[in-house]
């Protein structure tokens, strides 16, 4: 039997465990569990760290059972990689192993006033004040401001810091710490791709930056050790996989870049998950954007390998808009139903939906924006709304792709895509139409997990997966060609931009205490 490599893919809306053949990259088996998101107040998004770990164990055990049914020996799994929703922030007690608060999810907006305060104290009130070190604007999106909120507002966190029991981590750190023993010798680490999303990490020196820690007033000793994306961090302590090394770690968008084999400078991919993320490999030098994109560490494939960087266009709400139509509005019963509804009309009939639920991310970085639906008439029905929601995902992608092309000077000629939403064929066709370029989707859409498995299998001491260009597996893809003329596409895009302007500057100060749940 060929060696197998597994990946834990802990996303915003679900956890998955997938097992791949290290020689052919074929997916052998997997299991998925949905994660509960809680919204305790307007703009707040939390998840339970214990539920996250429970889901990881459940996915691992179920997948191992499935492998046994396929007569595959679990001992053929030679390594495990971890990939995760980025920026989501946790603090736990290293002595009890207990989380000290819920995980604050990347989408969460409670830090808007913290962000406004931080920007106001910069020279010229400039949100890009730290960009030369971090590659990022000061925004609610990144971990440092969430950690600052926890230190300011949660007594247990403050106490734990004082008594030197507190550990900070993003989701990857929490998972690796728990799996390698937790309070009994668990490894407290993160990789460069996740560290580069905290605003505490200097992307030039490739380490935590004391000046940034002082700026956010974060004690540097609670931070995890920064490692490469492909090395043995530790070994599984319990479960059916005890003794297997954990040897790959990448933030989900970096993992998708690796899984799409975008190792050359200029290669790019767009992932459609809860949000939407376009990353373009810029090689071993960080490139700063002039058009609202982030500069981020893509990966570092081994201790002694150079780090590679990427330009990133981040969109907060993509698949989340479908979840909203389902859970909040009852307009669709299942995520797959949106395609049927939208296809029945084939147009939004002049209706435009800007889902700025968490403000606007790239290229605007405007936390005060809120969601808006424009162009409604008595003719508009739920089918048009479903269509407008899918179009919104495509228009947002067009905005970040335009920014990417302006920054790089070398326009992309086609778009490589992946992620859960890409199973929606109507969405893929709409995307090709709105971009006026072909959209290429791999038949195996789990590229995020594949990237983490590749990093784990290629790690020194595991060495079951070769990343040399000649060994990379051939990937079968499907191509969607644009089918409308570019004039119509440009007209619709111009309309969209008009709608975006109407969504701006809505929620400019902290919510006032006018409803019972906001009174402290």
Residue-wise pLDDT for 171-194, tens only, equals: 999 999 999 999 999 999 999 999
For residue 295, what is the enclosing H or E element?
Answer: strand 294-299
- What would the mean pLDDT of 379-398 be, rounded to a whole number? 93
Q: Would you state the pLDDT for residue 515?
A: 46
Query: Is the pLDDT assigned to residue 201 strictly greater than 80?
Result: yes
User: How many Å apart are CA 143 and CA 123, to the nearest integer?
Assistant: 22
Helix then strand then coil, in percent of the chain rounded to 5, is: 35, 25, 40
User: How many Å apart are CA 233 and CA 215, to the nearest integer?
Assistant: 30
Task: Read off the pLDDT band of 518 (50, 70, 90).
Answer: very low
Q: Would you state the pLDDT for residue 520?
A: 40
User: Residue 226 pairs with which residues in a beta bridge?
Assistant: 190
Task: Read off the pLDDT band of 519 (50, 70, 90).
Answer: very low
Query: Is the pLDDT assigned to residue 512 strictly greater than 60?
Result: no
Q: Is the peptide bond before 216 cis (omega within 30 degrees of 0)?
A: no
Alpha carbon of residue 117 to chain centroid: 26
Q: Would you state the pLDDT for residue 121?
A: 85
pLDDT digits (tens, 9 = 90+) for 114-150: 888 888 888 888 888 999 999 999 998 899 999 999 9
Query: Is the pLDDT assigned to residue 167 strictly greater than 70?
Result: yes
Range in 119-133, 210-224, 505-519 the model is least confident about: 505-519
CB 351 within 8 A of CB 388: yes
C-alpha distances out from residue 51 to 1, 54, 58, 250, Å: 34, 5, 10, 21
Nearest alpha-carbon partner for 19 in 472, 467, 455, 449: 449
- Write down the pTM of the prediction: 0.88
Q: Which residues does 233 contact at the CB level (< 8 Å), separation at least 6? A: 176, 180, 187, 189, 227, 245, 246, 247, 249
Q: At what angle do helices 486-503 and 425-435 cross, to 10 degrees?
A: 100
User: How many Å apart are CA 177 and CA 157, to the nearest integer?
Assistant: 18
Query: Is the pLDDT assigned to residue 203 strictly greater than 90?
Result: yes
User: Residue 315 pairs with which residues in a beta bridge?
Assistant: 276
Q: Would you state the pLDDT for residue 510?
A: 52
CB 330 within 8 A of CB 340: no
Task: Read off the pLDDT band of 449 (50, 70, 90).
Answer: very high
Task: Read off the pLDDT band of 474 (50, 70, 90).
Answer: confident
Q: What's the chain's average pLDDT?
A: 91
Label residue 31 left, alpha or beta by phi (over 0 means left) and psi (-120 to 50 means alpha).
Answer: beta
Q: Would you state the pLDDT for residue 513?
A: 45
The HSE-up count of residue 512 (CA atoms within 13 Å, CB side) is 2
- What would the mean pLDDT of 362-387 be, rounded to a whole number? 90
How many percent of the chain have pLDDT more than 90? Answer: 68
CB 368 within 8 A of CB 507: yes
- What would the mean pLDDT of 396-405 be, rounded to a whole number? 91
Q: Would you state the pLDDT for residue 113?
A: 86
Q: Would you state the pLDDT for residue 516?
A: 46
Q: Would you state the pLDDT for residue 509?
A: 63
Query: Is the pLDDT assigned to residue 327 strictly greater than 70?
Result: yes
The HSE-up count of residue 423 (CA atoms within 13 Å, CB side) is 11
User: How many Å apart are CA 73 and CA 58, to the nearest integer?
Assistant: 19
């Amino acid at each position: 039997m060929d060696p197998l490599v597994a990946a834990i893919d802990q996303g915003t809306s679900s956890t998955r465990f997938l097992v791949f053949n290290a020689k052919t990259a074929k997916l052998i088996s997997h299991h998925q569990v949905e994660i509960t998101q809680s919204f305790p107040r307007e703009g707040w998004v939390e998840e339970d760290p214990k539920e996250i770990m429970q889901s990881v164990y459940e996915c691992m055990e179920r997948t191992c059972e499935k492998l046994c049914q396929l007569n595959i020996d679990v001992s053929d799994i030679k390594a495990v990689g971890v990939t995760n929703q980025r920026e989501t922030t946790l603090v736990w007690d290293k002595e009890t192993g207990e989380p000290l608060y819920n995980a604050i999810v990347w989408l969460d907006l409670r830090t808007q006033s913290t962000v406004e305060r931080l920007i106001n104290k910069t020279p010229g009130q400039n949100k890009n004040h730290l960009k030369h070190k971090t590659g990022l604007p000061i925004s609610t999106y990144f971990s440092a401001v969430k950690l600052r909120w926890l230190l300011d507002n949660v007594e247990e966190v403050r106490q734990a810091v004082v008594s030197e029991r507190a550990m900070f981590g993003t989701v990857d750190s929490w998972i690796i710490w728990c799996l390698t023993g937790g309070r009994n010798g668990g490894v407290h680490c993160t990789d460069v791709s996740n560290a580069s999303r905290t605003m505490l990490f200097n992307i030039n020196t490739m380490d935590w930056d004391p000046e940034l820690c002082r700026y956010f007033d974060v004690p540097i000793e609670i931070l995890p050790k920064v490692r490469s994306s492909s090395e043995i961090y530790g070994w599984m302590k319990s479960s059916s996989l005890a003794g297997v090394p954990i040897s790959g770690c990448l933030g989900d968008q970096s993992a998708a870049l690796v899984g799409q084999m975008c190792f050359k400078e200029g290669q790019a991919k767009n992932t459609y998950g809860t949000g939407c993320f376009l990353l373009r490999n810029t090689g071993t030098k960080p490139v700063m954007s002039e058009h609202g994109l982030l500069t981020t560490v893509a990966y570092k494939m081994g201790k002694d390998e150079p780090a590679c960087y990427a330009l990133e266009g981040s969109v907060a709400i993509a698949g989340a808009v479908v979840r909203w139509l389902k859970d909040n509005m009852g307009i669709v019963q299942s995520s797959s139903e949106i395609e049927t509804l939208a296809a029945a009309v084939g147009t939004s009939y002049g209706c435009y939906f800007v889902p700025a639920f968490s403000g606007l991310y790239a290229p605007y970085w405007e936390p005060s924006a809120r969601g808006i639906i424009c162009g409604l008439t008595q003719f508009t029905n739920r089918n048009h709304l479903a269509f407008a929601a899918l179009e919104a995902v495509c228009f947002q992608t067009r905005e970040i792709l335009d920014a990417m092309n302006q920054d790089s000077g070398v326009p992309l000629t086609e778009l490589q895509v992946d992620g859960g939403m890409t199973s929606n064929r109507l969405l893929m066709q709409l995307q090709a139409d709105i971009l006026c370029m072909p959209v290429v989707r791999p038949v195996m859409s789990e590229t995020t997990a594949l990237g983490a498995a590749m990093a784990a299998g290629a790690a020194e001491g595991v060495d079951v997966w070769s990343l040399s260009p000649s060994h990379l597996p051939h990937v079968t893809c499907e191509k969607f060609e644009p089918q409308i003329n570019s004039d119509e596409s440009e007209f619709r895009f111009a309309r969209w931009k008009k709608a975006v302007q109407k969504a701006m500057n809505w929620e400019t100060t902290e919510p006032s205490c006018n409803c019972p749940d906001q009174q402290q």
